Amino acid sequence: MQKLKEAILAKGKAVNQDVLLVDSFLNHQVDVALMRDVGDAFAAYFAGRGITRVVTIESSGIAPASFTALAMGLPLVVMKKQTSRIMKGDLLQTTVRSFTKGTQYELTAKRDFLPEGERLLLIDDFLASGEAAFGVLNLAKQAGCEVAGVGIVIEKAFQPGHDRLCEAGVDVCSLARVKAMSEKGIEFID
């Protein structure tokens, strides 16, 4: 997606060869007009695939996932990284490890919001190793749902997430695929 690549080049900063800072339009301050276009692009790519529900993981996936759900006219479910005392009912959980952040969390969703037989579209901001996406695949399986597609705003193509998901038979659409990056610049795969 040209507009997204232009935003990454103009406003993104490669902290090092592995981490891209995009907090001026995606992770902290949010360019909602760009996110609306991102949502439209995912809606166009995943149209006609029988998707019934959009899912994401809090927090940075929420903006692109909201616009995708709006464009597709579908409900959105935000999976949680932590539970609270008011989160009651039949909960589905799986542990997700983040290699980038060196953390782990219990990915959690209420079974009520993932009814059996739904076809899910996962939208997320970044794809690195694919751990978060595999966590969602795991919860979907527990719920009796299928992940019919994964839409990623920025994929770090030099990390294994994309290949791992493709090998698992998942249809992945990444709007910007970063081939390599350094302080000198950011290169994309066309």
Tell me how far, at minimum, the Cβ of 26 lies from ligand G4P, in Å: 8
CA–CA gap between residue 95 and residue 115 (Å, rounded): 21
Burial class for 93, CB neighbours closer than 10 Å (0-12, 13-18, 19+):
middle
CB of 48 to ligand G4P, least distance (A): 27
* Residues forming the site for ligand G4P (CB under 6 A): 19-22, 27, 57, 59-61, 98-101, 125-132, 156, 161
User: Over 57-87, what HEC string results?
Assistant: ECCCCHHHHHHHHHHHCCCEEEEECCCCCCC
Of 118 and 131, nearer to ligand G4P (C-beta) is 131
Query: What is the C-alpha separation between 177 and 127, in angstroms, rounded?
Result: 9
Q: DSSP class of residue 118?
A: -
Separation of alpha carbons 20 and 144, rounded Å: 35
To ligand G4P, the closest distance from the beta carbon of 124 in angstroms equals: 7
Q: Which is nearer to ligand G4P, 27 or 52 (CB)?
A: 27
Pick the closer one to ligand G4P by CB: 75 or 100.
Answer: 100
Q: Which is nearer to ligand G4P, 89 or 102 (CB)?
A: 102
In whole angstroms, how close is the CB of 140 to ligand G4P at the nearest point? 15
